[in-house]
Amino acid sequence: MITNLFRDFPAAAQNGSAETFEALLTQPNLHIERIVSTGQASPPDFWYCQTQGEWVMVLQGSAGLQLEGEAQERILRVGDFVNIPAGCRHRVNWTDSSGPTVWLAVHYGAIPVSEI
């Protein structure tokens, strides 16, 4: 059980081999997770498009987030957050390669049953 967002990262996050996603709280229409990125980015030409809204905040590190239709990527640093509406295509162009980027993600709305 996670009780501190900045400690006890999974092995894949500690050794930088994979981005990790860990559920903190899951309720009907609400899913909160910690994401730890270690230099990962969305694959070329890949866009996320989710059925639920996502509010995401960078707690540590930095990242470049691109929303479809926006000419410039958004540079997110510690404390920066963004709300991504359901159905909004988006991608992560980069995450900090010098240390972990820790995200707090709140998914809301129609959460797929497989995530509850």
12-31: pLDDT as tens digits: 999 999 999 999 999 999 99
Half-sphere exposure of 11 (CA within 13 A, CB side): 0
pLDDT band at 114, cuts 50/70/90?
low
pTM for the whole structure: 0.91
pLDDT 10s digits, 71-112 = 999 999 999 999 999 999 999 999 999 999 999 999 999 765
- pLDDT surpassing 60 at residue 115: no
DSSP state string for 66-109: EETT-SSPEEEETT-EEEE-TT--EEEEEE-SSS-EEEEEEEES
Say whether pLDDT at 48 is over 70: yes
d(CA 59, CA 68): 24
**pLDDT score at 1:** 81
What was the pLDDT predicted at 59? 98
Predicted confidence at residue 83, as pLDDT, reads 98
Q: What was the pLDDT predicted at 33? A: 98
